[in-house]
Amino acid sequence: MVRNYGAVVSAEACTGCGACEERCQVGAIAVEDDSAKVAAERCIGCGLCVTGCADDAVVLRRLPEALVTAPPADLQAWGDERLRNR
């Protein structure tokens, strides 16, 4: 999966309202014990959970450089990469 960011929840700030869980399009967030938890392997770093959190308890953090994927140079390079990965 290509992603350069991941969601991180502050357990201290989280009220467990479930807004982030409802907004997550890939089911990467679940509220357990009155706090949201992120399944990092499922998170695509889209930020929907961040924009839906009224308590500002969720942020996106850049992944370590070793895991960051550089964007393609142009549309042709993007197409070539897609074909190689089919």
pLDDT one-digit tens code per residue, 34-55:
999 999 999 999 999 999 999 9
Domain count, the chain: 1
User: What pLDDT does residue 83 have?
Assistant: 93
Pairing mode of beta strands 35-38, 58-62: unpaired
Give me the CATH number covering residue 46.
3.30.70.20
pLDDT at 9 over 70: yes
State pTM to two decimals. Answer: 0.76
Contacts of 36 (CB under 8 A, 6+ apart): 9, 14, 16, 18, 20, 21, 29, 30, 49, 57, 58
User: What pLDDT does residue 40 have?
Assistant: 93
User: What pLDDT does residue 1 have?
Assistant: 62
Range(s) of the domain holding residue 58: 5-84
